[in-house]
Amino acid sequence: MRNLFPVLFLLAALSIPAYASESAQSYIAPCEFLVYFDSFDRLMNVSKSVLKRFYGANWNQMESQFRADWQSQFGVDVFSPKSIDGIGIATNRSLAYVHIAKDSGYLLLPVSSRKKAENWLNKTLGGAVPFRFLGDYLAVSENPTNLVTLSNVTIESNEAFRVTIAKLDFHWDKPFVWVESRYLADVSSGLGVTGNIQIPYGFTAVALDFSDSVITARAYSGLISPEQNDYIRQMRQVSAVETNNLLDYISGSPAAVAQLYLNVPMLFRYYMAIDRINILGFSGLVRELQNKYRVNLEQDLIANTDGLAKLVIDRLDIANNDYLLYGSIGLIDSAKGENFVESLKTAVIQSSNQLFSFDLFTHPFYHYKSSNYSVFYGVIDKDLYFSTDKDTLVKLVQNIYESRNGYLEKLPAFFRESMVSNHAGFMGTIDVQSFLSQVKTGLLLNKDFFIGIQNIDIQGHPDMEEPSWGWNTRVDIRFYH
């Protein structure tokens, strides 16, 4: 069973919608973790297509290896519908892995022949794994108790699940993953993370759509608690007014852009509430600035933001300390923003780091220099501008205030709609080919896998209606035609 699940999880991520038929949903019990996909049918072709992107010229060798491994372990050629049908497994109906609780779960397979499926299980697994037929489905589990206690109650009896599939407009017709916080808590404790923190009941679901030109993942994440409802409702209340698309004022070929359009003070409180043990380190930084340098990041900057922040990544080479990033943070009160910059100046000097100053439009700007990077920053009107390159910062500010634009139309089409606030949330766009050539993070990436990808769009927004349980996120991976 442990050998079957990882492979099926991979196939779930690669599957495509199939024609409507009897679904495994009738036999999916309330659970903490679910991987569902609509069928084996047409799955093999899409699996090959995606895996070819990953393995490139080595695909034929890897295909032979996959076939041999499956044939050796399970007596079936996973890329052959005829072979799958030959062991009594139907290729035109849905299947799933259902994790009910710790050490409790089962694999659900559609059957075309009970006799063939039973013979295959006994021959391949030697009768060591318990199984049970449920209508035209086969449930396989390491724990026989799971199969005995299955009832007519399905996952759709869970209110949170019903809300989630409505948010995603999910009709059991595409790949789907469901994860509850209890499952993540078990996984975290197994990895050595403290298990003493009581996590409220939360959940995340992802539905996948595939076509020749785009792969779309739509996710909904929620946390059921009155506090969550208050946080989400207030986070979508933003005072910012859209001004400029930074890409329109600087010539270049950006690798990625990102924008935040949320109530930042409430987002900060939300983050501090869920990261109580400082896993990401930001909480510790905030405390250090306050205690050591008397810089109150929450009051001096975060509470003064209007909710609109933008970032452009043009070049990022960590190994060689070669960076070109720039962006802006919208402010409610420019005077308070200038005071924050001054308090930050004092903190830098107290920490014995290098700090230089220069004027831009008669406003003081600063250059913070460390051994690995530089940051240039300052406040003009109601924006805090920053960049890792002085010439870029000066050019950006000058062009904005002298209305010298027109660079955006020279960029790829997918950038033209970026960094425009339509509703509360966040967004990001990655030019994949520019990213591969201009961003060096030290991670080894198989470029063959990304060679056909044009761009990746990420958009997310909080619930806009009550009750406000969570976040809606959409990721589009677009391919060259």
SS3 of 287, please? helix
H or E element, residue 291: helix 282-293
Confidence of residue 421 (pLDDT cuts 50, 70, 90): low
Rounded to an integer, the average pLDDT of 47-61 is 74
| Contact (CB, 8 A) for 197 and 220 | no
- CB contact at 8 A, 183 and 59: no
Instruction: Assess contact for 178 and 161: CB atoms under 8 A.
Output: yes
Cβ contacts of residue 417 below 8 Å, gap of 6+? Answer: none
- Furthest C-alpha separation in the chain: 84
pLDDT digits (tens, 9 = 90+) for 157-173: 999 999 999 999 999 99
pLDDT at 428: 93
204-250 per-position pLDDT tens digit = 999 998 887 888 999 999 988 888 889 899 999 887 876 678 899 99
Task: For residues 306-330, give the mean pLDDT.
Answer: 90
Would you kindly state where each structural domain of the chain is located, as residue ranges?
Answer: 4-220, 225-297+306-331+384-479
378-395 burial: b if 16+ Cβ within 10 Å, else e: bbbebbbbbbbbeebbbb
- Separation between Cα atoms, residue 204 and residue 164, nearest integer Å: 8
Tell me what the mean pLDDT of segment 362-369 comes to.
88
pLDDT at 287 over 60: yes
| Region for residue 312 given its phi and psi (left: phi exceeds 0; alpha: psi -120 to 50; beta: otherwise) | beta
The residue whose two tokens read 């400029």 is 244
Out of 108-117, 189-198, 298-307, 347-356, pick the least confident: 189-198
Q: What is the pLDDT of residue 275?
A: 61
pLDDT class of 3 with cuts at 50, 70, 90: very low
Residue 472 has pLDDT above 50, yes or no: yes
Greater pLDDT, 475 or 296: 475
Please report which confidence band the pLDDT of residue 7 belongs to, taking 50, 70 and 90 as the band edges: very low
Share of the chain above pLDDT 70, in %: 85
CA separation for the pair 123, 108 (Å, rounded): 19
State the burial class of residue 337 (Cβ atoms within 10 Å of its Cβ: 0-12, 13-18, 19+).
buried
Q: What is the mean pLDDT of the chain?
A: 83
According to DSSP H, which parts of 222-263 are helical?
A: 226-235
* pLDDT at residue 438, as a whole number: 87
Spatial distance between the Cα atoms of 337 and 341, rounded to a whole number of angstroms: 6
Q: What is the dihedral of CA 422, 428, 432, 437, to 10 degrees?
A: 130
pLDDT in tens, 391-417: 999 999 999 989 999 999 899 888 887
Q: Is the pLDDT of residue 88 over 80?
A: yes
- Spatial distance between the Cα atoms of 93 and 22, rounded to a whole number of angstroms: 6
SS3 of residue 324 by DSSP: strand
Q: 105: buried, middle or exposed (CB in 10 Å: 19+, 13-18, 0-12)?
A: buried
Residue 96 contacts residue 108 (beta carbons within 8 Å) = yes
Please give the model's pTM, rounded to 2 decimal places. 0.84
d(CA 130, CA 98): 15
Q: Which two tokens stand for residue 351?
A: 């920490």
Res. 444 pLDDT band, cuts 50 70 90:
low
Pairing of strands 305-317, 439-440: parallel
Question: For position 325, what pLDDT does the model report?
Answer: 94
Q: Decide if pLDDT at 280 tops 70.
A: no
Taking only the tens place, the pLDDT of each residue in 121-162 is 888 877 778 899 998 999 999 888 878 878 789 999 999 999
Which residue in 329, 327, 383, 374 sits closest to 348, CA to CA?
374
More confident residue, 348 or 206: 206
Query: Would you state the torsion angle of the CA atoms of residues 13, 216, 242, 408, taken in this order, to the nearest 10 degrees?
Result: 110
Which whole number is the average pLDDT over 176-182?
A: 92
Nearest to 124 by CA among 64, 68, 71: 71
Report CA-CA distances (Å) from 296 to 108, 220, 300, 317, 347.
Answer: 54, 34, 6, 31, 11
Q: Is the pLDDT of residue 190 over 70?
A: no
Q: What is the C-alpha separation between 133 and 110, in angstroms, rounded? A: 10
Measured CA angle at 302 (ends 312, 475), to 5 deg: 45
Query: Over 90: is that where the pLDDT of 115 sits?
Result: yes
Least confident among 43-47, 110-114, 346-350: 43-47
Short-list 183, 310, 175, 186, CA closest to 246: 310
Identify the pLDDT of residue 144.
82
Q: In terms of Cα–Cα distance, which of 433, 438, 437, 439 is closest to 412?
A: 433
Alpha-carbon distance of 297 to 303, in angstroms, equals: 9
